[in-house]
A and B are shown apart, each in its own frame.
Chain A
Amino acid sequence: MGEKMTSATTNWATPASVELLYVSDEPRYVASNRSVRVGGMNEWQRKAIGKVLEYKWQLNSNWDSYESNPISEWVTCAATKLVEKVPFDNVPAPRVVPVSGGGIQMEWSKGHRDLEIYFRPDRTIEILKIVDGVPLNDGEGLTSINLGVESIFSWLNAA
């Protein structure tokens, strides 16, 4: 991430491992503006991250006329980090939408399977797996520090 060169700038912390998603909004650079390095990413990842940051940039308070907050720093970090960590190229591009309250929802569809991931401003991530329009779970609540990214997208890719 270039820490050796810049000694510190605003980006996020390194994940504990490929399998774990460690979400932190703590940048370690002297520069304060945030940017996400996308050199090794594929097209869908770059577009999804661009959309998340665009919402973060564009949506002010009350953006939905229901007094929703802007997209929070944590939500931005979590959504970006998750997209960065998906270890497959053959994942379809997700639909990225803001949700009331200041969260982000990402939706992937492949074959009969849909995957919806909600990044909530209360620092929770919720995952919904859907097969033929029927949810498999009731919103699988996960802590923000332990998320098996590979297994979730393996499930989607198995469609």
Chain B
Amino acid sequence: MAGDADAALPDYANPPVDETALSIQFSPIPNFGIQHYGLYWAKVRDEYPHFQVRTPVPSVTEQAESPIPRIQLDLQVVEAPEVRCWYVDRSKNRLFQIQTDRFIYNWRRINGNEPYPRYPKLRDSLAAEWRKFCDFLTSENFPKPQVNQCEVTYVNHIEYDKGWNGYGELHKVIAPFAEPGRKTFLPMPERANMELHYRWRDDSGRLHISLQPVIRGRDGKEVLQLTLVARGAPKSSDDESVFKCLDHGREWIVKGFADFTTESMQRSIWGRK
């Protein structure tokens, strides 16, 4: 259970997380079409009154031999256009997304002041919505989804001038940056982009970390975006295996974040307890 394991993980009073997404990927449900997205909305509309249609995200599978996951290409012959539907709650902080091969539960900041509800709560919400969706599939005579990947994404926004001052002081944020005072030919970097990939110890998945400057969509402010994505294959499609895999991914994200960022930022800016 996520709650039991939580006590051992680093915790923060003000984590820089801007959005989290918990994704369950499965084999495409045959004949799941546009009518079913609408039928499902009718069931959840009271709680999720906003609806948006989007292009599906590609199917992504971790490959044992390569840190770059396989993306199933979008070039395919389809009889009807594929869609991804967003079901958004009243606050617009929570939404879930459905497409023919994925179920994704998101929490995001909208005005920037919302407290992060914490993983155990989001996990419970995902579990409840996933169960409802599986029940719906059963009621419409669809087979139970064959889950092939679980994915946990944390997008963190590290604001400038809070504990560090520009990319010459990246060592104050990112722990692996060594020897900050060393005299070098190169001047201070203007900006930095970085991607790192870590294999899970049991080889069932990976943690991907990316770092890049972005302009935040919700307020036009430039920040350093640190995205952690943990993705791996569950042992089976049953709920216990699926949620165990998600919990494992989340553990890698939390411990990875604590390793990757500096203790001074964790304590002074993000309120590590």
Chain A interface (Cβ < 8 Å from any Cβ of B): 2-10, 13, 24, 26-40, 46, 49-57
Could you mark each residue 218-229 of chain B with 1 if its beta carbon is under 8 Å from any beta carbon of chain A, else 0?
A: 111111010101
Contact assessment for A54 and B220 in the assembled complex, using a CB-CB cutoff below 8 Å: yes
- Residues from chain B with Cβ under 8 Å of A28 in the complex: 55, 57-58
Contact assessment for A32 and B58 in the assembled complex, using a CB-CB cutoff below 8 Å: no
Contact assessment for A53 and B219 in the assembled complex, using a CB-CB cutoff below 8 Å: yes
Measured CB to CB, the nearest residue on chain A to B223 is A35
A28 to B71, CA, bound (A): 12
Q: Chain B's nearest CB lies how many Å from the CB of A150?
A: 23
26 contacts between A and B (CB under 8 A): A5-B208, A5-B229, A7-B23, A7-B58, A7-B229, A8-B58, A26-B54, A30-B23, A30-B102, A31-B21, A31-B108, A32-B19, A33-B108, A35-B223, A35-B225, A36-B214, A37-B212, A37-B213, A37-B214, A38-B214, A39-B212, A46-B222, A49-B215, A49-B220, A50-B215, A53-B216
User: What would 7 more interface pairs be, CB under 8 Å, given A5-B229, A50-B215?
Assistant: A2-B212, A3-B58, A8-B57, A31-B227, A32-B21, A56-B220, A57-B218
* Interface class of chain A by DSSP: mixed
A54 to B153, CA, bound (A): 25
- Residues from chain B with Cβ under 8 Å of A6 in the complex: 153, 208, 210, 227, 229
Q: Which of B189-197, B243-251, B260-268 contacts A (4 or more CB under 8 A)?
A: B189-197
Q: Which of B57, B97, B106, B155 contacts A7 (CB 8 A)?
A: B57
Contact assessment for A38 and B229 in the assembled complex, using a CB-CB cutoff below 8 Å: no
- Residues from chain B with Cβ under 8 Å of A33 in the complex: 18-19, 108-109, 155, 216-218
Contact assessment for B68 and A38 in the assembled complex, using a CB-CB cutoff below 8 Å: no
Q: Does B95 contact A (CB under 8 A)?
A: yes
